[in-house]
Structure 1
Amino acid sequence: MNRLIPFQGTHNFRDMGGYRTADGRKVKHGLFFRSDELFALSEQDIRDFQGLNIRTIVDYRSEYEVQKKPDPIFPQVNHLHVQAITSGSLSMMNMPDQTENEDQQEHFIIGLLKSGFFKQYRSDTMMLDLYRNLVFNNPAYQRLMEMIQLENNLGLLQHCTAGKDRTGVGAALILMALGVSEADIMEDYLLTNETMREINGQILHQLAGHVDEDDLKNIEHMLGIKEEYMEAVFKSVKDKYGDYDSYLAAQFDLTLSKREALQKLCLE
């Protein structure tokens, strides 16, 4: 099934519908979308976007990212900016919350490269730390899980810059609450490696002659996603709470009765 919605100005815009749950129902199409940044949407993209009947946009990016590449304004859409990674969390992971570069067209990886980040830290280790921390006491995901319980908020689009990490975890939590299996959550997550393959390949090709092999490997880790990152989410949740039911109830007040209502709304 081709989940990708082919906009000119995005690379990773997808409909999350169609995944099966343990009881045989499936997630309705047109309710949940995930994407990379929307800054480069063309006029035709914007017309096509409006045809999707999206009512809510949840933008996980930092204040700096939003100012640098603001989303288009869509009439009749509730646009929420809820930062998924705080400056404090970035600091703990030795990740800069912004770079000195102000070029709107420049990829964020270039800014990190110029800042010297890849000379000092291993991005795969940093990414594992990020995923382990994102799923606990996160106001952005708490707001997300509130929003999805109200029919008037759907269709809902969640996005960040590349639509892979912050958005990947948010998407996983929605599917988890709906009763989708770990295997299908992982499938949805790993699709980013396919949708972003061309653009990431272009970036690596452009950099290949200008950085050393260690930097290039670090950059490749940062651009892509790995099963072990989402597995870190699954393991962290189960290590702390034992099961997903307990986690969803404790972190988001998604009791079994609330989840049943959510599933009735979003499954068919």
Structure 2
Amino acid sequence: MHMRLPLILIAMLLPLAPVVAKAVAPPQAVAAPHDRLLPLQGGNNFRDLGGYRAADGRSVRWGLLFRSGAMASLTPADFATLAGRGIRTVCDFRDVRERTSAPVNWPAGKAPVVLADDYQNDMSAIVRLFGPTLPSGEQARAAMTSTYPQILKQFNGQYRRMFGELLAGRAPLAFNCSAGKDRTGVAAALLLTALGVGRQDVIGDYLLSNRYFDPGKLTGGNDPQSAMFRRMPPEALQAIMGVDRAYIEAVFAVMDAHKGGVDGYLAGELGLNLTERRELVRLYTER
């Protein structure tokens, strides 16, 4: 209940509070079926974040906020579908190696603005699992849980940039990593929380990756990493390739422990004060 109160007050004050910066017109979503999972031939975990209930009876607008795994297997028909959806900006959280090995060949003249950083993803917690003996499912889950607070820190700059794009109204916007569940899952949790979506709904969205992510698209190749994952016991592989409530709760634990709780974290670590959050609510939710 304590998480909802500030945004309820925000929503009540919406008609009265002036926007400090130049007003941004709400992005317009293309009329399309309200499907959680987009019907893409080469998509993997590509979903719409619309429809979740936010504060004061509002709900997240459909057709503006999308989360996804890597888009390297999208077909020409898929690109046409996304163009029809008006995708304007893509925040690609993959590192240099991931983007080089699985490039996205957007059609000339129809590509969205793609924002990405050149960095090397820290996989040390996972690599350590491949010691003299293969890990158990419990060991793999513990390793995954420990990585999630690190994701918050490592990708703070990229998450800030994503929110900057959204505050500027450069949507419909999609954000992705390779699987669309870890780096992307944290980004979705931050975004939905900033919009006032209740925690259980945020966690529910996060857990949908167990239904919509196809691990075979990442482990079916001939590269050393795919071969490494295929050696793992099924329980350990599921822990790494799936999602678990404990993983995202490790993120919320960091936020809850921050001075001022979740509101303090969003303001202090992501620069989202009440004015910016009120603007996000205006742009991306509706009654």
TM-score, structure 1 normalization: 0.81
Other-structure match for 2:114: 79
Cα deviation code 1:23-69 (max 9, x no counterpart):
11011111100111111111111111111101000101110000000
User: Is 142-151 or 170-179 further displaced after alignment?
Assistant: 142-151
Counterparts of 1:253 and 1:171, CA distance in 2: 17
Aligned partner of 2:80 in structure 1 is 47
For residues 1-268 of structure 1, the aligned pairs below 5 Å read: 2-74=35-107, 75-82=110-117, 87=120, 89-91=122-124, 93=125, 95=127, 116=130, 119=133, 122-136=139-153, 138-151=156-169, 153-196=170-213, 199=216, 211=231, 215-268=233-286
Can you give the 5+ residue segments of structure 1 that lack an aligned partner in the other structure? 97-111
Percentage identity across aligned positions?
Answer: 34
Q: 1:76-106 CA deviation, whole Å, 9 max, x = no partner? A: 51111136xx647434x3549xxxxxxxxxx
Which stretches of structure 1, 4 residues or longer, exceed 3 Å deviation after superposition? 86-91, 116-122, 197-200
Are 2:45 and 2:214, in contact at CA under 8 Å, matched by a contact in 1?
no
Q: Which residue of 1 aligns with 2:12?
A: none
State the alpha-carbon separation in 2 of the partners of residues 81 and 236 from structure 1.
25
Distance 1:29 1:118, change over 3 A: farther
In structure 2, relative to structure 1, the CA distance for the partners of 1:2 and 1:46 (3 Å cut) is closer
CA contact (8 A) 2:126 2:144 kept: no
Rate the CA distance shift 1:240–1:80 in 2: closer, same or farther, 3 A.
Answer: same
Shift of 1:142: 1.6
Verify the 8 A CA contact 1:34 1:171 in the aligned structure 2.
yes
Q: 1:127 deviation in Å?
A: 1.1
Partner Cα separation in structure 2 for residue 149 and residue 188 of structure 1: 22
Give SS of 1:61's match: coil
| TM-aligned CA deviation for residue 196 of structure 1 | 2.5
Helix, strand or coil at the partner of 1:241: coil
Q: Distance in 1 between matches of 2:123 and 2:132?
A: 15
TM-score of the pair, normalised by structure 2:
0.75
- In the superposition, relative to structure 1, how do residues 220 and 59 fare at CA in structure 2: closer, same or farther (>3 Å)? same
Count of equivalent residues:
239
What is the CA-CA distance between 1:242 and the residue it aligns to? Answer: 4.1
SS of alignment partner, residue 59 of structure 2:
coil
Q: Where does structure 2 lack aligned partners over 5 or more consecutive residues?
A: 1-33, 221-226
1:47 and 1:221 map into 2 onto residues whose CA distance is 35
Structure 1 117/217 Cα, relative in aligned 2: closer, same or farther at 3 Å?
Answer: farther
Question: Contact 1:119–1:215 at 8 Å: present in 2 too?
Answer: no
Instruction: Give the superposition deviation at 1:141.
Output: 1.1
The CA RMSD over aligned residues, in Å, is 2.7
Name the stretch that deviates more: 257-266 or 70-79. 70-79
